[in-house]
C-alpha cells in the first residue's frame, strides 16, 4: 500500500514517562525522513506538540486540524506547514481521515482512544480501507490488546476486524506493517 500522509492520534499530555515523548520525537522524525506528511490534531502541547515539532525539525510537512473551541486549550501550533481551524470534533476527525492514508496511535488518553476506535469502526463498516496501528511504547497498549482479543473470543469482534489494527514497537516496524496491510473483505 502506498502511504503519503499519516494521521497520528496522541495525547495533549506528555504522560508519566519520558519514553513517550521520545517515541513521539522518533515517530515525527521518521515520518519526515520517509517523506510522509504528518496529519494530527493541531495542538502545540503534550505528545501532539512533540511529534509535530520533530517532524518540522526534520523538514517534514505537518498539517494540524484543531476545533475552534480547543484552539486555546490545546494551544494551536503556530509553526506548522498548515493549521486548519474547524467547527468541532466531528469535523476535526473527518478532515484528518480525509487527508490521511493510514492512522497511528501513540500513547494518549480518552481522546486518543476515541479517535482510534472511531476510525477503526469506520474501516470495519467499509467507510474507508486505510490501515491503522498502535505504536506500542513500553507495553502501553498491551492490556488493550488483551481486551481486544477477549472481544474476539466472546464473538463481539470478528478475527478479520481485530486484525485491522496493527501493532509495532518502533516507527519503522509499524510503518512496514501498515504498508503491507491488505483490507479485509469480511462484512460487519
Query: Do 43 and 108 contact (CB within 8 A), yes or no?
Result: no
Task: Enter the C-alpha cell of residue 59.
Answer: 523538514
Residue 45 lies in a domain: yes
Residue 137 lies in a domain: yes
Residue 187 lies in a domain: no
SS3 of residue 15 by DSSP: coil
Give the domain range for residue 129.
5-180
Q: How far apart are the first and last CA of the chain?
A: 23
Residue keyed to cell 517534514: 60
Residue 36 lies in a domain: yes
Q: Output the pLDDT for position 187.
A: 63
Q: What is the pLDDT of residues 30-89, one digit of tens each?
A: 999 999 999 999 999 999 999 999 999 999 999 999 999 887 776 889 999 999 999 999
**Could you tell me the CATH number of the domain that includes residue 27?**
3.40.50.450
Residue 188 lies in a domain: no
Residue 97 lies in a domain: yes
Residue 78 lies in a domain: yes
Residue 144 lies in a domain: yes
Q: What is the pLDDT of residues 95-151, one digit of tens each?
A: 999 999 999 999 999 999 999 999 999 999 999 999 999 999 999 999 999 999 999
Task: Count up the domains in the chain and report the number.
Answer: 1
Amino acid at each position: 500500500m502506498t502511504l503519503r500522509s499519516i494521521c497520528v492520534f496522541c495525547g495533549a499530555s506528555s504522560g508519566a514517562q519520558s519514553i513517550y515523548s521520545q517515541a513521539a520525537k522518533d515517530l515525527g522524525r521518521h515520518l519526515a525522513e520517509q517523506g510522509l506528511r504528518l496529519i494530527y490534531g493541531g495542538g502545540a502541547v503534550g505528545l501532539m506538540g512533540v511529534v509535530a515539532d520533530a517532524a518540522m525539525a526534520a523538514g517534514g510537512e505537518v498539517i494540524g486540524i484543531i476545533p475552534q473551541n480547543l484552539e486555546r486549550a490545546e494551544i494551536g501550533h503556530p509553526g506548522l506547514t498548515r493549521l486548519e481551524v474547524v467547527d468541532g470534533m466531528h469535523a476535526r476527525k473527518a478532515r484528518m481521515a480525509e487527508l490521511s492514508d493510514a492512522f497511528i496511535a501513540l500513547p494518549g488518553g480518552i481522546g486518543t482512544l476515541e479517535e482510534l476506535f472511531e476510525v477503526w469502526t469506520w474501516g470495519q463498516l467499509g467507510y474507508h480501507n486505510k490501515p491503522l496501528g498502535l505504536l506500542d511504547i513500553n507495553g502501553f497498549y498491551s492490556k488493550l490488546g488483551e481486551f481486544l482479543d477477549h472481544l474476539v473470543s466472546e464473538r463481539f469482534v470478528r478475527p478479520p476486524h481485530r486484525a485491522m489494527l496493527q501493532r509495532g514497537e518502533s516507527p519503522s516496524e509499524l510503518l512496514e506493517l501498515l504498508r503491507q496491510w491488505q483490507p479485509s473483505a469480511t462484512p460487519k
